[in-house]
């Protein structure tokens, strides 16, 4: 396991990157501006730093310049995360002190392996050993899940945040689940006309029709009413929304953020 610092001012991107790193067993530290990131590097001495380029106050290139100018910090691998696509951008980043870069938008399946390629030898060997163990464990889990669900289960994920949908997809698909995605309850209901999933996982507060409105439509439809329905939300009302959701027919109400292993366990319990 490596200690990895992510410097990113976009909350959605920060959540996605730290979630993926933790899912692979790494310790993820965070900073939301360049100055804070530099101080965090000096304080914690991470094994690797991931840094956005467009940062407030202190830019990513300035972060690189300061880190590489310090002999104690210079050996720490530094990766840029950027949506820049102009000719010469790669050379500019490498000349500025970065050891490599990862393009946005982030690909959840490739992000962590790409990051781990820049770890120094001891951390990389540890990561390889852990990934080998994870592969064996995942194979066993997939078999158990398939047996519990009576085969490859199909799950409909409904959320107006693309990052949240990616998190669900990247957590469940490696275990053999088929994940359908919808960014609104209207799109989800349209999908339900052609597909009958084994489980529905929905956010509550979405643009347009809410998750509460969506579950009312599902439970009033004779074809759909028996499909288990889970609310997965970071709602601030918590207890009130939980009671309302359960009263409308949801089998579970799960608060986000949630660790991948815990989410998998909750879903497997519903599919039994």
User: Are the C-beta atoms of residues 211 and 253 closer than 8 Å to each other?
Assistant: no
Q: Of the spans 87-91, 206-210, 246-250, which averages the highest pLDDT?
A: 246-250
Domains contained in the chain, number:
2
Nearby residues of 110 by Cβ (< 8 Å), 6 or more positions away? none
182 belongs to a structural domain: yes
More confident residue, 120 or 256: 256
Using CA atoms of 242, 245, 247, 253 in order, give the dihedral in degrees to the nearest 10.
-60
pTM given for the model = 0.51
Q: Do 202 and 241 fall within a single domain? A: yes
pLDDT for position 132: 39
Q: Do 115 and 171 fall within a single domain? A: no
Q: Do 48 and 152 fall within a single domain? A: no
Residue 22 CB: number of other CB atoms within 10 A?
16
Q: Do 110 and 18 fall within a single domain? A: yes
Q: What backbone phi and psi angles, to 5 degrees, belong to 197?
A: -70, 165
Q: Do 168 and 238 fall within a single domain? A: yes
132 belongs to a structural domain: no
Render pLDDT for 55-82 as a digit per residue (tens, 0 to 9).
988 999 999 999 999 999 999 999 999 8
Q: Do 98 and 58 fall within a single domain? A: yes
83 belongs to a structural domain: yes
Q: Of the spans 27-41, 75-89, 164-178, 191-205, which averages the highest pLDDT?
A: 27-41
Q: How many residues does the chain have?
A: 272
Render pLDDT for 207-242 as a digit per residue (tens, 0 to 9).
888 999 999 999 999 999 999 999 998 765 567 788
138 belongs to a structural domain: no
Query: Is the confidence at residue 16, as pLDDT, over 80?
Result: yes
CA distance 37 to 29: 10
User: Containing domain of residue 151, as a range?
Assistant: 144-271
Give the DSSP H or E segment for 166: helix 162-172
Q: Do 148 and 106 fall within a single domain? A: no
Cis-peptide into 105, omega within 30 deg: yes
Q: Do 153 and 246 fall within a single domain? A: yes
CATH of the domain at 253: 3.40.50.2300
Summarize the confidence of residues 235-264 as an average pLDDT. 82
Q: How high does pLDDT run on average in the chain?
A: 82
């Amino acid at each position: 396991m490596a200690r990895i610092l992510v410097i990113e001012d976009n909350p959605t991107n920060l959540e996605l990157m730290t979630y993926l790193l933790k899912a692979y067993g790494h310790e993820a530290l965070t900073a939301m501006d360049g100055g804070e990131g530099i101080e965090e590097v000096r304080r914690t001495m991470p094994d690797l730093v991931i840094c956005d380029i467009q940062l407030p106050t202190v830019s990513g290139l300035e972060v690189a310049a300061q880190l590489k100018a310090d002999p104690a910090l210079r050996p720490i691998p530094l990766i840029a995360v950027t949506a820049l696509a102009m000719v010469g951008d790669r050379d500019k980043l490498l000349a500025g002190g970065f050891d490599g870069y990862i393009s946005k938008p982030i690909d959840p399946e490739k992000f962590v392996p790409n990051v781990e390629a820049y770890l120094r030898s001891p951390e990389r060997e540890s990561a390889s050993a852990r990934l080998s163990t994870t592969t064996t464990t995942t194979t066993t889990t997939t078999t158990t899940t398939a047996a519990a669900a009576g085969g490859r289960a199909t799950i409909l994920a409904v959320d107006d945040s693309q990052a949240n949908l990616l998190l669900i997809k990247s957590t469940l698909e490696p275990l053999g689940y088929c994940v359908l995605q919808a960014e609104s309850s209207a799109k989800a209901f349209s999908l339900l006309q052609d597909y009958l999933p084994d489980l529905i996982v929905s956010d509550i507060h979405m643009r347009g029709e809410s998750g509460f409105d969506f579950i009312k439509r599902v439970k009033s439809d004779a074809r759909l009413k028996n499909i288990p329905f889970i609310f997965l939300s970071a709602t601030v009302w918590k207890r009130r929304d939980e009671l309302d959701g359960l009263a409308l027919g949801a089998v579970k109400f799960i608060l986000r953020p949630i660790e991948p292993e815990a989410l998998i366990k909750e879903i497997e319990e519903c599919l039994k």
